[in-house]
Structure 1
Amino acid sequence: MITLVKANLADIPAMQALVVSEVKEGVILNRSEDEVATNIRSYVLAKEGEKLIGYTALHIHSRRVAEIRSLIVDAAYRGKRIGQKLVEFAVEEAKVLKVQEEVLVLTYTPGFFEKLGFREINKEAIPEHKIWTDCIKCIHFPVCNEVALVYKIS
């Protein structure tokens, strides 16, 4: 049985191990253990028993905008709607936290997010501080092929 649980500090080594290949490929940004620890309350994990099989984070940029980050599902578990459940959890969490307008995502798989109600936006609409705090760390910066999408909070 797969369950979704909030992360704790003891989960960090398994979280770091799960994203190694995607970080090397530049699909997911490298985040240090300290950065993950600082933001541990943002993460939700998908587990099968005690085994970590996926996770994502909901990062709050402002009262108006939150962002889904670092969505990963173990390759052996893909195609089983685990990513969908993680995204839906994050969107619901944004609503509970009273994010006023939208949930942002930058992705190489826009079709996945479009099926969940996200709509593509122009990258120029992304909050400027996002570019200077995250995007500048990316191996693809400044030539980025990610697509920006938002989910409008209703």
Structure 2
Amino acid sequence: MRRAVTFRDAAAADLPVMEALLIAAELSVEGVRAHFADFVVAVQGHEVVGVAGLERYGLHGLLRSVAVRTDHQGRGIGQALARAMIERATVAGLETLALLTTTAADFFPKLGFRPVTRDALPAALQASSQLRGMCSASATVMHLTLRHGRPE
């Protein structure tokens, strides 16, 4: 019998496995420690099987580092993690959420994100290392407007 996957705020002890998950998914670990308070992990039993994070810049946020361990992919964990981060951003009163992806441009529209150009993003997000060059210039940029307590 397979144990249920649960979600919780990341703890300091999770950092090595979180970074390993991100590296395995070819995602940057740059900025993870600086925004650690806004990272969530997916846990099955006592094992971290997924991670997602949020960077906050005033009323705008960047969804980042959504990764699921290879042997747990295809079970909806990534989608649940992304939804948890959208909810966190909404509850925090953020107005928009953006992301950059090189591999999941077909995944995020299911959650309401739409492709945009980098220059269409709020200026506040330019403080993110992900937008300042850590993430490939060829990455797809996506945006979601959050309003009235739920994504628009």
**TM-score tier (shorter):** 0.7 to 0.9
Matches within 5 A, 1:38-117: 38-63=34-59, 65-99=60-94, 101-108=95-102, 109-117=104-112
Instruction: State the percentage of identical aligned residues.
Output: 26
The count of corresponding residues between Structure 1 and Structure 2 is 142
| 2:140 pairs with 1:147 | yes
| 1:7 Cα deviation after fit | 0.5
Q: Corresponding residue for 2:150?
A: none
Uncovered stretches (5+) of structure 1, i.e. residues with no partner? none
CA RMSD of aligned residues (A): 1.9
TM-score of the aligned structures, taking structure 2 as reference length:
0.84
Specify which of 24, 31, 36 is matched with residue 32 of structure 2. Answer: 36
- Code of the residue aligned with 1:30 in structure 2: it is V
Larger helix percent: 1
Distance in 2 (CA, whole Å) between partners of 1:153 and 1:130 is 15
Task: Provide the secondary structure at the position in 2 that maps to 1:55.
Answer: strand
Q: The residue matched to 1:36 in structure 2 has which SS?
A: coil
- Residue 19 of structure 2 aligns to a residue whose secondary structure is helix
Check whether the contact 1:103–1:152 (CA below 8 A) recurs between aligned residues.
yes
Give TM-score scaled by structure 1 length: 0.83
